[in-house]
Amino acid sequence: MFDRFIGIDYSGAETPRSSLPGLRVYLAEADGTPVEVPPPPSARKYWTRRGIAEWLVNKLSESATTLVGIDHGFSFPLRYFEVHWLEPDWQAFLDDFQHHWPTDQDIYVDFVRDGLHGNGAARMGNARWRRLTEQRAGTAKSVFHFDVQGQVAKSTHAGIPWLRYMRQRLRGRVHFWPFEGWDIPEGTSAIAEVYPALWNKGFVNEGRTSDQHDAFSIAAGLSRADHDGTLAALLRPDLTPPERTLAQLEGWILGVPGKARVKS
């Protein structure tokens, strides 16, 4: 289905211009093994969140069809929309979130949490709120569960405004799955939310750091799924019609099964 695959291990630390060792990018071409993509030459040793967003806009503007997996939440649980009286529309959510949590500006996520920038107090969530996909994944943490080991909350709150940035610049050329539909049009690149724990145990580490291995595993796992024919099924999880509608608002982690896992 795709010509190349990009895996991104994300980080919500510091600011969008901070060079962070937790930001890693791997790319696999066709049948090739994923290789790490370094940031553009500069005084910065590692990627920045702004740099990744700008690089993706350029990369996804090329003709090669590309599937990108990014390790952070793309949306919030239905309860968030209900509590804050938000319309059930992902683009409206992106705009509203960036207005209250302007974490694409040169600030820390914690600046908004602490009331120093934006208006995060008007758009807070609860760590007990979980999306359907997180419930089905089993071990996935809530996008509101801050300050714990393995949290995704900070990277999610840092990354969502950059999804908006990319969508504004790539409209019509890239499919944001599943918000723009479960079926990715032929010949179109796509961006999806991923959870490295679903992929990283299937590949030998070979000396990579945990962040490198997560990004490598995302790219390698997506490539393998495409080539062995299982990707199509992953893109169509077994959900009921109401669940499918809900997931197009809350988002879905690519690779999470639709049906709840039965404990043995």
How much helix, strand and coil, in percent to the nearest 5, is found in the chain?
40, 10, 50
105 touches 16 (CB < 8 A): yes
What's the pLDDT at 260? 65
Q: What residues contact residue 88 under an 8 Å CB cut-off, 6+ apart?
A: 81, 249
Over pLDDT 70: what percentage of the chain?
Answer: 98
What's the pLDDT at 262? 46
Q: Give the model confidence (pLDDT) of 21-46 as tens digits.
A: 999 999 999 878 999 999 998 888 99
Q: Give the model confidence (pLDDT) of 149-168 as tens digits.
A: 878 999 999 999 999 999 99
| Order of all β-strands in the sheet with 24-29 | 35-36, 24-29, 4-9, 66-70, 189-193, 174-176
Average pLDDT for residues 209-220, to the nearest whole number? 97
What's the pLDDT at 26? 98
Torsion of CA 143, 107, 7, 24, to 10 degrees: -120
Q: Is the predicted pLDDT of residue 261 greater than 70, yes or no?
A: no
